[in-house]
Amino acid sequence: MIALLATAAADPIVDRLVRESLASDEPWAELVELCDDIGPRLSGSRGLDRAVRWARQKMQEDGLAVQLQPVDVPHWVRGAESARILSPVDEPLDVLGLGMSVPTPPGGIEAQVVVASSWDELEAIGDSARGRIVVLDPPWQGYGETVGYRWAGADRAMAQGALAVLLRSVTDTDLAVPHTGTLGYEGDQRIPAAAITPEAAARFRRWSDRQRTVTVRLDLGSEMRADVSSANVVGDVVGSEKPDEIVLLGCHLDSWDVGTGAQDDGAACVAVMEAVARIGALDVKPRRTVRAVLFTNEENGLKGGEAYAAANAGKVHVAAIESDTGMGGTLGFRVEDRWYEAADVQAWLPGVAELLAPVRSHGVQTVEAGYSGADIGPLLKAHGGLGLGVLHDMSGYWAIHHTEADTIDKIDPADLKTEVATLAAVAWQLANAPTLPGPAPK
Ligand SMILES: [Zn+2]
C-alpha cells in the first residue's frame, strides 16, 4: 500500500486524465442526448431498449471492447392513475403508483381512510384497517430508514385486511410532489399502493387526529406483463499485463418512467462511459482491465446486477465502483462494509483515501465505511473484492428523486466533469497499483 501512496499523486498519466476530464464537454452532450432524445428508461420500455443501443454505440465509437449481456427484466406498466378525496372535501388527490403495484379492481376502490405513521401504529389499528385504505405517513428519517415503508407497506397493510395503501412520499422535501419507487410483495395476495405528497399525508394525519371521517377513491391501471429481454452494456479497455483482473465502474441505465432519470442514474452512466473511454484513449494501456458496466433494471428488480454476478463467477474483480447517488458535487467514496469485518474495512480506508490525491483539490476527499451500491452488491457478496460507492452532495437529491423533476436542468456540468476526473483517476490507479487497498477477491 505504501508504494501506491508514493506513486499515485506523481503519476503524469493520472494528471493528464484529470486535466482532460475537467476540460471535456462530451459527457454533458451525451447526457443531453440520453435525457432529452431518449428520455425515461423503465424496464420493458422502448426508452430502455434505445438507451442500451445508444450506449453500445457510444462505447464502440470510443474504441472499447463492447458486449451486451442479455438479462430478462420485469415489464411493469403504470397505466392511468387517479384519485379523489370524497369527504370531508370533494377534490382531486395527486397520486403516483408505486412501481410493481397491482392495479385496483375495475371501478377502483372507494373506502374510508385510516392513518398510521409507523409499523407500531399500523399494528395498533388492528382490525380497524379491514376494508379501509391505509395512509402510511412515516416521517423522513433518511432514505435507508424510511424506504422500508415503501417496500413492505402494502403487504403489512394487506395482512390487516386493508384494501390499498397511500404512502407519504419517501423524501426530505415537501414540495407537493409525489415520489414513486418500487415496492415488494412477498406472497400472491396483493393490494395496490401509490405515493401521495407529504402535504397530503400531513392533511390526512390532521383529519385523523380530529377524528374526521375521510373517504377516498383510488384508480390505478397498472399492468404486469411478461418479462422482456434487456441487457447490461459492458465496455472494456483490456489490460496489458493482467487482462483477467477487472476494475469495474458501474451505474444503472434504467430509470423510472417519470422524469428522465438524469440524476438517477443517467449522469453517472455518461461519467462512467467517459472515464473508461479516457483511459482507453491513452497511448499506454492499464495493467488490469478497466470495465464500464451500465446495469439494467436496478429500479424494479436488480436483475442486471444479479445476472452480472452470476455470469462472472470465477472472474477476478479486484475492485467494483458504483455511482448511484445523483450528480451533486462528487465528495469521495464509501467503502462497502456489508460482507466484511468492520475492523478490516477501517484498515482499508487510508489506502482508498490515497487514491483521491489527484482530485482532492477539487473537493473529492471523503472516505468512509458504508453501503456502496445496489448493482455491485451481488458481485461483491458472491466474489469479494473492494467495493466503492461514489459519495455526492445529496442536499438537492431527495427533493427530485423518482419524480417528474429528475431532469438534466438540476445538474451542474462542472460537477459531471469532476465525477469523470475522479472515476478515471481512481480506476487508472487501481488498474496499475502493485498493491491494492481492500480485500482480495474470493
Ligand atoms: Zn439509482
pLDDT at 7: 46
Which listed residue (274, 298, 322, 419) is catalytic?
Answer: 298
Q: Which comes out higher in pLDDT, residue 129 or 435?
A: 129
Residue 8: band (very low, low, confident or very high) from pLDDT cuts 50, 70, 90: very low
pLDDT for 424-433, tens place per residue? 999 999 999 9
pLDDT at 350: 96
Q: Is CATH 4.10.93.10 what the domain over 79-221 is classified as, yes or no?
A: no
SS3 (DSSP) at 35? helix
CB 319 within 8 A of CB 426: no
pLDDT at 442: 82
Q: How far is CA 60 from the centre of its chain?
A: 25
d(CA 128, CA 123): 10
Distance 42 CA to ligand 1 centre (A): 12
Q: Tell if the pTM clears 0.75, that is, is over it.
A: yes
CB 18 within 8 A of CB 417: no
Distance 231 CA to ligand 1 centre (A): 17
pLDDT for 171-220, tens place per residue? 999 999 999 999 999 999 999 999 999 999 999 999 999 999 999 999 99
pLDDT for 15-66, tens place per residue? 999 999 999 999 999 999 999 999 999 999 999 999 999 999 999 999 999 9
Residue 440: band (very low, low, confident or very high) from pLDDT cuts 50, 70, 90: confident
225 Cβ contact partners less than 8 Å away, ≥ 6 residues apart: 44, 75, 76, 77
Distance 61 CA to ligand 1 centre (A): 26
d(CA 237, CA 64): 6
Distance 274 CA to ligand 1 centre (A): 19
Check whether 3 has a pLDDT greater than 80.
no
d(CA 350, CA 367): 8
Check whether 9 has a pLDDT greater than 70.
no
- Mean pLDDT (whole number) for 376-380: 98
Distance 322 CA to ligand 1 centre (A): 10
Check whether 145 has a pLDDT greater than 90.
yes
Distance 165 CA to ligand 1 centre (A): 24
- Mean pLDDT (whole number) for 281-300: 98
Q: In the annotation, is 30 catalytic? A: no
pLDDT at 1: 40
CA distances from 147 to 92, 144, 179, 254 (A): 26, 6, 11, 20
Residue 295: band (very low, low, confident or very high) from pLDDT cuts 50, 70, 90: very high
Indicate the domain borders of the chain.
Answer: 2-76+226-432, 79-221
Q: What percent of the chain has pLDDT over 90?
A: 95
Distance 111 CA to ligand 1 centre (A): 34
> Pairing mode, if any, of strands 316-322 and 81-87?
unpaired
pLDDT for 220-254, tens place per residue? 999 999 999 999 999 999 999 999 999 999 999 99
Q: What is the mean pLDDT of the chain?
A: 96
Check whether 302 has a pLDDT greater than 50.
yes
Residue 314: band (very low, low, confident or very high) from pLDDT cuts 50, 70, 90: confident
CATH number assigned to the domain covering 2-76+226-432: 3.40.630.10
CA distances from 45 to 305, 337, 385, 431 (A): 19, 34, 33, 36
pLDDT at 437: 86
